[in-house]
Amino acid sequence: MSIFRYAAPASFYPLAGRLIPWFAAIAAASILIGLYWGFFQTPDQLGGTNPQKEYYRIIFVHVPAAWMSMWLYLVLAAWSAVGLVFNTRLSFMMARAAAPTGAIFTFLALWTGAFWGRPSWGTYWDWDPRLTSELILFFLYIGYIALHSAIDDARRADRASALLAIVGLVMLPVIFWSINCPDPNQCAALHQRSDLSQMESNIFRAMMLMTFGFWMYSFAAVFMRVRGIILSREAESAWVRALVEAKA
């Protein structure tokens, strides 16, 4: 009972408002420390006989952004499924609020990857399995947002785009296993399977801090957006009117 009270938009709205500053502050702190650690406490070069130079530090943004792009899609699809099954309003609002942040992280992963790929691989873009599947994930986010805004009736928009989100889940395992090449020298794929145990400890720390920071940022951004959605959708309800009158 206690926690499900917050499934009602009227009680979640103030809770999200109280939590946003905390998530924002933790996000800012971890991203600042993570960037400092990544830029100044890690080795200058990476790899064996032909090391990557300083530009490898793009991974401290690239890898966390790519992880968050997949995680937020999972969040989006999970809220969509909960909404479809239990017909709860707030679930659909959370799904809709998560989509733009996920799209931004997907774009950030593709964009930083292009700038890393140019000096190291020799190309901004290649139809590498992982690049291709991540691009499709970006189109899925854009398609979800577009489908949702194309339908005027909010509840119908929720259901149609929720279905798209759930069907699009098929891309997550494709992205995850797109590097599954038995022998890297027998495949055209440029991405390779990497091993967390083959990671220098400071690089690992910086990457985890950045991931945590991006995650906390996602909470803050999604809560801010969901508050806006709640207000616009519940504009006719008594509690929003009371809120507006209290502010005025």
**Which of the ranges 15-23, 73-81, 93-101, 128-136 carries the binding residues for another protein, by CB under 8 A?**
128-136
The CB-based long-range contact list for 145-153 (8 Å cut-off, 24+ gap) reads 145/99, 145/100, 145/103, 148/96, 148/99
97 binds another protein (CB under 8 A): no
| Token duo for residue 111 | 């964009």
Do you know the residue count of the chain? Answer: 248
**Which of the ranges 6-14, 67-75, 133-141, 236-244 carries the binding residues for another protein, by CB under 8 A?**
133-141
Q: How would you label 180-211 residue by residue, b for 16+ Cβ within 10 Å and e otherwise?
A: ebeeeeeeebbbeeeeeeeeeeebebbbebbb
155 binds another protein (CB under 8 A): no
121 binds another protein (CB under 8 A): yes
| 8 Å CB contact between 10 and 237 | yes
Q: Which of 74, 199, 235, 242 binds another protein (CB under 8 A)?
A: 199
Q: Which of 194, 232, 242, 244 binds another protein (CB under 8 A)?
A: 194
Q: How far is the CB of 25 from another protein (least distance, A)?
A: 29
| 8 Å CB contact between 220 and 23 | yes
**Which of the ranges 2-10, 84-92, 101-109, 131-139 carries the binding residues for another protein, by CB under 8 A?**
131-139
Q: Report how far residue 68's alpha carbon sits from residue 157's, in angstroms, rounded to the nearest whole number.
A: 25
**Which of the ranges 21-29, 30-38, 40-48, 72-80 carries the binding residues for another protein, by CB under 8 A?**
40-48
**Which of the ranges 87-95, 106-114, 126-134, 213-221 carries the binding residues for another protein, by CB under 8 A?**
126-134
186 binds another protein (CB under 8 A): yes
| Token duo for residue 206 | 């910086």
33 binds another protein (CB under 8 A): no
Q: Report how far residue 66's alpha carbon sits from residue 210's, in angstroms, rounded to the nearest whole number.
A: 12
Q: Which of 2, 4, 49, 248 binds another protein (CB under 8 A)?
A: 49
Q: Report how far residue 85's alpha carbon sits from residue 79's, in angstroms, rounded to the nearest whole number.
A: 10
- Site residues for another protein per CB under 8 A: 43-53, 59, 119-123, 126-129, 132-133, 136, 139-140, 143, 147, 151, 156, 159-161, 163-164, 167-168, 170-171, 174, 178, 184-190, 192-195, 198-200, 203-204
